[in-house]
Structure 1
Amino acid sequence: MRYLEGRDMPRRADVGRWLLAALLLWCSAWAQADLSIAGTRFIFPANSSVISIRVGNIGQAPILLQAWLDKGDAKASPSGLAVPFVLSPPISRLEPMQRTALMLRYSGEPLPGDRESVFWINFLEVPSRLPVTENVLRLAYRMRMKLLYRPQGLTGTADQAVRQLRWRFAAEGKGEGALLASNPTPYYVSFAQLALGSGSRSISLQGITVEPFGSARIALPEVPGTTPDQAVVHYQVATDSGETLSGSARIQD
């Protein structure tokens, strides 16, 4: 979520000139997120009472950080959400180069005990409103990261789950098709990248997640290989440690 903060609102007749000025300002201004977060996703084991999320301000001005959780709807208002976790503090001010920790606690509301449950942690960085002497571009950055609640006693391990996925190709006519990924494990499998085929006919996909004991249907613009059993999917998957694991699997009949 980003917003442009200007000094004056443009009249309708000046919209064209204002847009041009905004583009020039974008080219001449310097802006970046000053919020740093330790991790790319978070695991909450069922036997834990609290986990900490390390955050910091690597910029040269104070920032305001608002943090909240949702169940998957990025547009939902934080005030109307009901999630079984408490994140504190929900709002904090970070001075330049300051580091601190947010504390995440499970409220104890029932969640499935045979599989992982997924939630999203939202981090909204609001920049300083200190007076400036020249035009600047102020951006509010919002980041969303996965939170996985993991019950005790699940079979296997999360990092091995990707090797148990079953891949199948389904032709749908006119050269189009879909890649079907079935997950027989109790873990979420999140792909940073998927690639099918090779050369000029290769297809690259991002942001694919297969839920526990579920499946994902991935629409494809064309058949990636000569026949389904000759196609191979190459993947990069996120691990518990935050690293990326590369591998490949053959698409089955």
Structure 2
Amino acid sequence: MRSLAFIFSIFLFFISTDATAGLATSSSRLIYEEGTREKTLIIANINDYPIVVQAWFDDGSGNPEYEKSPFVILPAVFRMQPAGIQSLRVFFNGAALPSNKESVVWLNLYEIPGVKKEGADAHAKLDFAMNTQLKVFYRPKGLQKMKLQDLVKKLKFSIEKQSEKAVLVCENSSAYHLSFARISLIYQGEKTNIIQEMDMMSSPLSKRRYMLENPVNVFDYIEFSLIGDDGHIYHGKVDRNGAFIEGF
């Protein structure tokens, strides 16, 4: 049986976690290294009502019928009481994945509220269902371990014209995914931001294009915020060739 001290420490962790949905998680992402037996994710129901949770993996589409996931999660469907805590176990199913770069899937935690009765007339109140998504990165053994600062040096930036609009091209020559929270171009002290998207991740060994708020043709350097393996946000600056200027 878990000790009261352990349970209390878990609650303290979730209390300090910022969650927009009704579920709080012990981590904002999972790194699954090749050869790992299993990974554990702990979640807490911070709603004031019970919920049923369905968990599955997909390509980010939120489709519970997705069949190509390299992972299995247990339990896949479960009920949680208010302030309840649930441990989820993630296993690799042995699927064939690239050995020269990271792979990524999304873990979905779809919460379905029950019907709550309130007031003297016991009228029913229906709360909305919500879906929380976390990225799960599969990391092959053969990849060279690199610090975030070194990964940034594997990036090259350029501006490309598309019709009447300008886009920022990020070429990621590393074997790792880089998740941006923000990117800005600086030219002669003037800042131009990219248009924010739900997912601004740059995939390994590929190019990603970001729309700019204003058309520009040149920049001196890039300011950015990156999400690290620990879920924290790190800030830095690089020139267009990825030469590191400052940050972290």
TM-score, length basis structure 1: 0.77
In 2, the alpha carbon distance for the partners of 1:39 and 1:50 equals 15
What is the Cα deviation at residue 179 of structure 1? 1.0
Which residue matches 1:5?
A: none
Q: Tell me, what secondary structure is at the counterpart of 1:130?
A: strand
Which residue matches 1:46?
A: 34
Which residue matches 1:166?
A: 156
Which residue matches 2:203?
A: 211
Which residue matches 2:224?
A: 235
User: 2:195 touches 2:211 (CA, 8 Å); kept in 1?
Assistant: no
Question: Letter of the aligned partner of 1:45 in structure 2?
Answer: E
RMSD: 2.4
In 2, the alpha carbon distance for the partners of 1:80 and 1:185 equals 28
Bigger radius of gyration: 1
TM-score, length basis structure 2: 0.78
Q: Which has the higher strand share?
A: 2
Which residue matches 1:67?
A: 55
Question: Letter of the aligned partner of 2:201 in structure 1?
Answer: T
Deviations, residues 139-198 of structure 1 (Å, cap 9, x unaligned): 111111111100012124262312321111224575x32211111110001101112247
Question: Any residues of structure 2 matched to 1:49-128 within 5 Å, and which?
Answer: 49-74=37-62, 76=63, 78-128=64-114
Unaligned runs of 5+ in 1: 1-31
In 2, the alpha carbon distance for the partners of 1:172 and 1:70 equals 31
User: 1:158 touches 1:240 (CA, 8 Å); kept in 2?
Assistant: no
Runs of 4+ in 1 over 6 A off after TM superposition: none
Question: Letter of the aligned partner of 1:105 in structure 2?
Answer: F
Structure 1 residues 92-101 or 43-52, which shifts more? 92-101
Question: Letter of the aligned partner of 1:181 in structure 2?
Answer: C
Which residue matches 1:146?
A: 135
Distance 1:202 1:220, change over 3 A: closer
What is the Cα deviation at residue 130 of structure 1? 3.3
Q: Tell me, what secondary structure is at the counterpart of 1:202?
A: strand
Q: Tell me, what secondary structure is at the counterpart of 1:157?
A: coil
Percent of paired sites with the same residue? 26
Question: Letter of the aligned partner of 1:164 in structure 2?
Answer: K
In 1, the alpha carbon distance for the partners of 2:192 and 2:81 equals 47
In 2, the alpha carbon distance for the partners of 1:107 and 1:220 equals 40
Distance 1:97 1:125, change over 3 A: same
What is the Cα deviation at residue 135 of structure 1? 6.5
Question: Letter of the aligned partner of 1:83 in structure 2?
Answer: S
Among 34, 38, 53, the alignment partner of 2:22 is 34
How many residue pairs get aligned? The number is 216
Unaligned runs of 5+ in 2: 1-19, 242-248
Q: Which has the higher helix share?
A: 1
In 2, the alpha carbon distance for the partners of 1:203 and 1:195 equals 4
